[in-house]
């Protein structure tokens, strides 16, 4: 079973700080990586995807990918209390259809 690993947290950061969320994956053939946000009792909501090594920025969010280290991260700048949620890392399976999710990291942004 190909694994996607995340620290479950909770990760607590003060409002305005940078939150750093990390994810590792076991399938070296993985090509596409997604970050979703999930509020309690709600469905996953896409934040961004990345498939090339390096950084990709979208507003306050930056995804970083290092395929050699099999490592994906998400940085959230100027964290807000509304960012408090569980952040899910997901990897497209080799077949190209299914998303393989990590267990998620719980983020708490304190005012």
Partner 1 sequence: EPEVTQTPSHQVTQMGQEVILRCVPISNHLYFYWYRQILGQKVEFLVSFYNNEISEKSEIFDDQFSVERPDGSNFTLKIRSTKLEDSAMYFCASTAQGQGATDTQYFGPGTRLTVL
- Binding footprint of partner 1 on the chain (CB under 8 A): 31-32, 34, 38, 42-46, 49, 51, 88, 90, 92-93, 95-104
Output phi, psi for 9, to 5 deg.
Answer: 80, -155
Strands 61-66 and 4-5: unpaired
Nearest approach, Cβ of residue 14 and partner 1 (Å): 27
User: Which residue lies nearer to partner 1 by CB, 7 or 32?
Assistant: 32
Q: In this complex, which beta carbon is closest to partner 1, that of residue 82 or of residue 95?
A: 95
Minimum CB distance to partner 1, residue 15 (Å): 27
Nearer to partner 1, 9 or 17 (CB): 9
Strand ranges (E), 9-104: 11-14, 19-25, 33-38, 45-50, 54-58, 61-66, 71-76, 85-92, 99-101
Query: How far apart, in whole angstroms, are the C-alpha atoms of residue 91 and residue 53?
Result: 14
The CB-of-22 to partner 1 minimum distance in angstroms stands at 16
């Amino acid at each position: 079973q190909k694994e996607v690993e995340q620290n479950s947290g909770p990760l607590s950061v003060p409002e305005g700080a940078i939150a750093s969320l990390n994810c590792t994956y076991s399938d070296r053939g993985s090509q596409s990586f997604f970050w979703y946000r999930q509020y309690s009792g709600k469905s996953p909501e896409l934040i961004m995807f990345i498939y090339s090594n390096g950084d990709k920025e979208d507003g306050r969010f930056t995804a970083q990918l290092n395929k050699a280290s099999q490592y994906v991260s998400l940085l959230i700048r100027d964290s807000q209390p509304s960012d408090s949620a569980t952040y899910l890392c997901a990897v497209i399976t080799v077949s190209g259809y299914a998303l393989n999710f990590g267990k998620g990291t719980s983020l708490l942004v304190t005012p």
